[in-house]
Amino acid sequence: MKQQWLAASLRFNALARRERAMVAAALLFALPFLGYSLLIEPQLVRQAGFAQRIVQIGTSRAAVEAQLAGMRSQLTDPDAASRAALAQTRAGMAALDAKLAAVSGSLVPPEKMQALLESLLSKNPHLELLALRTLPPTPLIEAAAVPVAKSLKGGKTPGGIKPAAAAPNIYQHGVEIRIAGSYNDLLTYLAALERLPQRILWKRVTLAVDQYPRNVLTLTVYTLSLDKQWLVL
């Protein structure tokens, strides 16, 4: 690697001044693409996979809740075997609830996203906040997969068993932030986001050259929550 770098340096120094300037300019404009390939794109892929795992857990829970609701509606005169099956299904749903709580607990709560983004921004005086806005909460589990148990008059299912509430959905709470600064300062900000003890997931990242060395970063980040409501900016 050292020999290759030395050979490249010698070839560069052998170029005419104008040719060296053209190569340097090309490298300068290539930096944002290299940063995207080395830092941003892998992070987007990793976090999309993490979010997909949470959605899969929530979808599995909704399916178990649907099964549980169906079992309740059929238990007009439940026997011991039917109640054992019902208890087993409930245990499976409780396990999914625990897994969902553990995974979602590693994410930043929606109501803390604004303060966290601004706190990181304030640590670098060379960065300028251009805009910050919240995005509407988006349910990630299809409505058909979130059951509501049918009940008889009096609020009970056949067999005298109370119906379950609708299975919780998983909501995506997003924030779009636009920041101006040098290329290195913007990459440092993204790296700081990646190192947070609680995750903020990245959805979309665009970087545009405004007027060298000033760049504008537009970043869409989000977190996941079982609660649809959150503080709107």
Summarize pLDDT for 212-224 with one digit per residue, the tens: 889 999 999 999 8
Confidence band of 131 (pLDDT split at 50, 70, 90) = very high
- Of residues 28 and 103, the one with the higher pLDDT is 103
Torsion of CA 168, 86, 158, 162, to 10 degrees: -50
Q: In residues, how long is the chain?
A: 233
Contacts of 145 (CB under 8 A, 6+ apart): 59, 62, 63, 66, 167
Reported as a single tens digit per residue, the pLDDT across 79-125 is 666 677 777 777 777 777 777 777 777 889 888 999 999 999 999 99
Please tell me the predicted confidence (pLDDT) of residue 64. 72
pLDDT band at 38 (very low <50, low <70, confident <90, very high): low
Q: Are 233 and 132 in contact (CB under 8 A)?
A: yes
- pLDDT over 80 (residue 196): yes
Domain 2-225 classification at class level: alpha beta
More confident residue, 130 or 200: 130
Q: Measure the CA–CA gap between 132 and 49, rounded to whole angstroms.
A: 26
pLDDT value at residue 199: 87
3-state secondary structure the chain: CHHHHHHHHHHHHHCCHHHHHHHHHHHHHHHHHHHHHHHHHHHHHHHHHHHHHHHHHHHHHHHHHHHHHHHHHHCCCCCHHHHHHHHHHHHHHHHHHHHHHHHHCCECCHHHHHHHHHHHHHCCCCCEEEEEEECCCEECCCHHHCCCCCCECCCEECCCECCCCCCCCCEEEEEEEEEEECHHHHHHHHHHHHCCCCECEEEEEEEEEEECCEEEEEEEEEEEECCCCCCCC
Q: Is the pLDDT score of 145 beyond 80?
A: no
Please provide the average confidence, as pLDDT, over all residues in the chain.
72
**Which pLDDT belongs to residue 77?**
54
Residue 17: the pLDDT is: 52
